[in-house]
């Protein structure tokens, strides 16, 4: 029971740290980390094997630039690697920031596994016997999250809504049996659907066109649709500004 309570408290602390660090330490406007001198120095220190100096430089980037996914993942890795600065809780925060900033990155799945590895290390350091059941729950949680994302993408590709499982039935049977129409009465004409009005979205910290597309359409395939609808306020697809109001057009007809 003590181990269970300690584990719950510990992960509550991780969540609180994540919320606190997300809300501070970044500039109001997103920048480009590759053009930052601290980012370049961090990469140079890594090539020279000066990992502790590299960690300090990458931390500097994450505190000043919102769009700094590569710096976040480097900080997470170094916080798990350097013995004298090892901090799994902080590493989990930076891994999560990477996924939030680059949800469509090829490295996202690997980073999710790195989060599980860091959580396991935290649990292994708890007093008493290893909390085996919780470790298995972590594995199942990650698998469940992956399956949910795949299911959501599949439903979008099939043109099905995302909020009910009943719509996964074959289209030929989903509507159920219908009564035949009297042969002498012609079927009523089908009215075309009325297009829905465009929605709006206020850009938040960590937003990207990929994340906004996934939020409103269920996948990230509509970034061009959002960008073209907001060319009057967007210079390019990376020029989002916190507080900016974007028009979200209706999904185009298939």
- The answer to whether residue 171 sits within a structural domain is no
Domain count, the chain: 2
95 lies in some domain: yes
Q: Has residue 236 been placed in a domain?
A: yes
**pTM for this model (two decimals):** 0.43
Annotate 21-83 with three-state secondary structure: HHCCCCCCCCCCHHHCHHHHHHHHHHHHCCHHHHHHHHHHHHHHCCCCHHHHHHHHHHHHHCH
Domain co-membership, 102 together with 228: no
159 or 92: which leads in pLDDT: 92
- 32 and 111 share a domain? yes
**Within a domain: 180:** no
40 domain residue, yes or no = yes
Query: Where residue 52 sits, what CATH number does that domain have?
Result: 1.25.40.10
- Domain membership flag for residue 190: no
Among candidate residues 61, 66, 70, 63, the one with its CA nearest the CA of residue 36: 61
Under the banding of pLDDT at 50, 70 and 90, the label for residue 127 is: low
Residues 6 and 128 in one domain: yes
**Statement to judge: residues 118 and 237 lie in one domain:** no
Are residues 149 and 207 both part of a single domain? Answer: no
- Return mean pLDDT, the chain: 75
Distances (CA, A) of 152 to 102, 126, 155: 18, 36, 5
What average pLDDT does range 223-234 have in this prediction? 90
CATH number at residue 232: 3.10.350.10
Backbone CA torsion sign across 13, 68, 233, 225: negative
> What is the domain extent for residue 45?
2-154
């Amino acid at each position: 029971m003590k181990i269970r309570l300690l584990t719950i408290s510990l992960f509550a602390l991780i969540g609180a740290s994540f919320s606190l660090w997300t809300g501070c330490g970044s500039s109001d406007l997103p920048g480009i980390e590759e053009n930052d001198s601290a980012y370049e120095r961090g990469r140079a220190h890594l090539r020279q094997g000066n990992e502790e100096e590299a960690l300090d430089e990458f931390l500097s980037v994450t505190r000043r630039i919102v769009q700094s996914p590569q710096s976040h993942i480097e900080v997470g890795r170094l916080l798990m690697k350097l013995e004298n600065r090892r901090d799994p809780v902080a590493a989990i925060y930076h891994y999560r920031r990477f996924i939030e900033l680059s949800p469509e990155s090829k490295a996202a799945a690997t980073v999710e596994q790195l989060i599980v590895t860091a959580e396991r290390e935290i649990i292994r350091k708890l007093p008493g016997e290893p909390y085996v059941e919780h470790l298995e729950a972590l594995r199942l949680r990650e698998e469940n999250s992956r399956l949910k994302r795949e299911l959501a993408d599949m439903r979008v590709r099939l043109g099905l809504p995302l909020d009910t499982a009943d719509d996964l039935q074959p289209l030929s049977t989903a509507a159920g049996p219908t009564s035949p129409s009297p042969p002498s009465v012609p079927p009523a004409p089908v009215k075309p659907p009325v297009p829905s009005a465009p929605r709006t979205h206020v850009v938040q910290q960590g937003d990207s066109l990929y994340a906004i597309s996934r939020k409103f359409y269920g996948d990230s395939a509509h970034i061009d649709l959002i960008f073209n609808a907001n060319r009057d306020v967007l210079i390019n697809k990376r020029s989002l500004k916190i507080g900016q109001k974007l028009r979200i057009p209706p999904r185009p007809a298939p």
